[in-house]
Amino acid sequence: MKDIFNLDGRVAVVAGGAGLIGYALAEGLATFGANTFIADVNEESAGKYAAELTAKGLRCSALPLDVLDVASIPAAVARVLSLAGSLDVWVNSAYPKPKDWGLPFEKVPIESWRAAVDSQMTSYCLCCREAAEAMRSQKRGSIINLGSTYGIVGPDFSIYEGTDLTMPAAYAAIKGGIINFTRYLASYYAKEGIRFNCISPGGVENNQSSSFVEKYVRRTPLGRMAKPADIAGAAVFLASDASAYVTGHNLVVDGGWTAI
């Protein structure tokens, strides 16, 4: 039974793999045997992290990928197919955002809103399409999108009071859209044997202010923020045969935040 989590022989790509969550996802997939590509616009960081995992005896490589460059996405897929011979798992974890990401909703310029939606939602859509089409001929594959609790429920703005942090309106629109687009793709590609699922993390530890962390933890049933490794376990499950009958699902990893 434990072998159903085994990813030996699988080829996985983590888009945004040099990010906080992305690197944890790449490490998790590689640890369970996948030949993993850390795909990122920051090639230096991607190379560094790939070297760290390789030094641990894992199969890992860096892959140049700029999700804001339409031509970069099919080029990355083609490179993976050329180097590894197949593509079995694709994880969308990239998080591009405009410089004015934290503006209040009523002050967001329409150009900024459009740029945010285009850079995050559209890039996920294009990555999904390119990855799925690469998987079509083999009649199997797992594509995982990163949603968010704030794609499911509205923000609790009280936890941001007295801090420099906020929750942009575009984030809720984008993540909610990604979650439902994942359901669409799950239905569309089901006949091809390609599964689409989402992971929606709660707040992840990232050197936030102590006052924010205290309020967040107080509101979370499990009494802590998430660690990046908490999200990795969900990715391994959705990438592996352990979830062979799971598609169109949004797996919430939030310590109970959305349960109350």
**Gap between the Cα atoms of 125 and 97, Å rounded:** 16
Torsion angle, alpha carbons of 231, 124, 75, 8, to 10: 30
Which residues, 6+ apart, have CB-to-CB distance to 222 below 8 Å? 255, 256
| Phi, psi values for residue 211, rounded to 5° | -70, -40
Task: Quickly list DSSP for 167-204.
Answer: --HHHHHHHHHHHHHHHHHHHHTGGGTEEEEEEEE--B
Is 216 catalytic? The answer is no
Q: Do the Cβ atoms of 167 and 157 come closer than 8 Å?
A: yes
Tell how far CA 156 is from the center of its chain.
Answer: 23
- Pinpoint the alpha helices (H) of 17-168: 20-31, 43-55, 72-84, 110-117, 123-135
**Gap between the Cα atoms of 40 and 18, Å rounded:** 6
Tell how far CA 96 is from the center of its chain.
Answer: 12
First to last CA, the chain: 34
Of 23, 49, 124, 171, the active-site residue reads: 171
The catalytic residues are 171
